Amino acid sequence: MTTPLDLTEVGSVGGFFALRTGAPPGGAHVTSLARVYAGESGALAFRVDKVAARLGAPDARIAVSVAQLGLAARLWSVALGSAALYGVVPDLDPGLLHWDADGSSPDDLWLTDVRTRPGDAANIRDIVQHGHLAPLADALRARHRISAPLLWGNAGSALAGAARELDTWARRGGRTGVGERAWALAAELFDHPDLRGTGTRTGTAFRRRSCCLYYRCPNGGLCGDCCFDRLPQRTVRASSPPGASG
Cα angle, residue 80 at apex, residues 79 and 85 outer, rounded to 5°: 105
- In Å, how far are 31, 60, 70, 116 from 108, measured between CA atoms? 10, 22, 11, 20
Q: How high is the pLDDT of residue 240?
A: 37
| Confidence at 41, pLDDT banded by 50, 70, 90 | confident
Please return the burial class of 53, using the count of CB atoms within 10 Å of its CB with bins 0-12, 13-18 and 19+.
exposed
CA gyration radius for the chain? 17
Q: 160 in helix, strand or coil?
A: helix
Greater model confidence, 218 or 19: 19
Mean pLDDT of the 167-196 span: 96
Instruction: Report the range of poorest mean pLDDT among 29-33, 130-134, 180-184, 217-221.
Output: 217-221
Q: Are strands 116-118 and 97-100 parallel, antiparallel or unpaired?
A: unpaired
Q: Are strands 20-21 and 109-111 parallel, antiparallel or unpaired?
A: parallel
pLDDT in tens, 82-134: 999 999 999 999 999 999 999 999 999 999 999 999 999 999 999 999 999 99
pLDDT in tens, 201-220: 888 888 888 888 767 788 77
